[in-house]
Amino acid sequence: MTARKVHLEPMASPEQQTALFAKLDELGIAHKTVSHEALMTAEDVDKAAPGAGMSPAEGLCKNMFLKSKKGELFCFTTQTANKVDMKSVSKKLAAPECRFAGDEFLASVLKVGKGSVTPLAAISDTEIKCAFALDQRLVGQAAVWVHPLVNTQSTCLSFDDLVKFLTAVGHPPKILDFSDMVEVAAPAGGAPAGKPAKPAKPAGGGGSAKKGGEKREKGEGDKEVNKETGLGMAARKEDDFPTWYSDVITKSDMIDYYDISGCYILKPWSFSMWEEIQKFFDAEIKKIGVQGCYFPMFVSQRALEAEKDHIEGFSPEVAWVTRSGQSELPEPIAVRPTSETIMYPAFAKWIRSHRDLPLKLNQWCNVVRWEFKNPTPFIRTREFLWQEGHTVHSTLEAAGEEVLEILELYRRIYEELLAVPVVKGKKTEVEKFAGGYYTTTVEAYIPATSRGIQGATSHCLGQNFGKMFNIEFEDEKGQKQIPWQNSWGCTTRSIGVMVMVHGDNMGLVLPPRVAPIQVVIVPVVYKDSAEVTNSAAYELEAKLKAAGVRVSVDARTNYTAGWKYNHWEQKGVPIRLELGPKDLAKQQVRMVKRIDNSKEDVPLSVLVPKMQLELELIQHQMYKNAKDKHNQLTKTVMKWEEFVPALNAGCMCLTPFCEEVEWEETAKKRSKEETLAGIEEEDNTATSAAAKTLCIPFDQPPMPEGTPCFISGKPAKCWVLWGRSY
Structural domains of the chain, with CATH: 14-176 (3.90.960.10), 266-298+337-502 (3.30.930.10), 519-623 (3.40.50.800), 634-723 (3.30.110.30)
Q: Render pLDDT for 47-90 as a digit per residue (tens, 0 to 9).
A: 777 666 676 656 788 999 998 878 889 999 998 888 788 888 88
Detail the DSSP E strand segments found in 318-380: 319-324, 327-335, 359-368
For 27, counting Cβ atoms within 10 Å of its Cβ (0-12 exposed, 13-18 middle, 19+ buried), the class is middle
HSE at residue 197, side-chain half, CA atoms within 13 A, is 20
Name the helix (H) or strand (E) containing 100: strand 99-100
Asked if residue 721 has pLDDT above 80, the reply is yes
% residues pLDDT > 70 (the chain): 87
Q: Could you tell me which of 581, 585, 541 has the C-alpha nearest to residue 561?
A: 581
Q: What is the mean pLDDT of residues 537-562?
A: 96
Helix (H) or strand (E) holding 226: helix 223-229
Q: What is the arithmetic mean of pLDDT over 417-431?
A: 97
What is the mean predicted confidence (pLDDT) over 436-444?
A: 97
CB 569 within 8 A of CB 594: yes
What average pLDDT does this structure show over 677-700?
73
Instruction: Choose the weakest-confidence range: 56-65, 319-328, 705-714.
Output: 56-65
**Cα torsion 543, 545, 551, 554: sign:** positive
Beta bridge partners of 599: 592
What local confidence, expressed as pLDDT, does residue 63 receive?
A: 92
Q: What is the mean pLDDT of the chain?
A: 87
DSSP E strands, 630-705 = 634-636, 652-657, 692-697
Give the pLDDT of residue 14: 83
> pLDDT for 106-154, tens place per residue?
888 999 888 889 999 999 998 899 999 999 888 888 889 999 998 888 9
Does 185 have pLDDT greater than 70?
no
> What per-residue confidence (pLDDT) applies to 288?
97
What pLDDT was estimated at residue 708? 98
pLDDT at 8 over 80: no
Alpha carbons within 13 angstroms on the beta-carbon side of residue 448 total 20
pLDDT tens per residue across span 446-460: 999 999 999 999 999
Structural contact between residues 489 and 481, judged by C-beta atoms closer than 8 angstroms: no
> How far is the C-alpha of 240 from the C-alpha of 96, rounded, in Å?
12
Q: Is the pLDDT of residue 289 over 90?
A: yes
Question: At 543, is the secondary structure helix, strand, or coil?
Answer: helix
Give the pLDDT of residue 210.
36
pTM of the model: 0.72
Instruction: Please tell me the distance from the alpha carbon of residue 29 to that of residue 50, in angstroms, as a whole number.
Output: 24
Give the tens place of pLDDT for each residue, 571-588: 999 999 999 999 999 999
Consecutive H or E run containing 523: strand 519-523
CA distance 215 to 208: 7
pLDDT for residue 608: 97
pLDDT at 219: 36
| pLDDT tops 90 at residue 36 | no
Q: From the CB of residue 451, how many other CB atoms can be counted at a distance below 10 Å?
A: 22
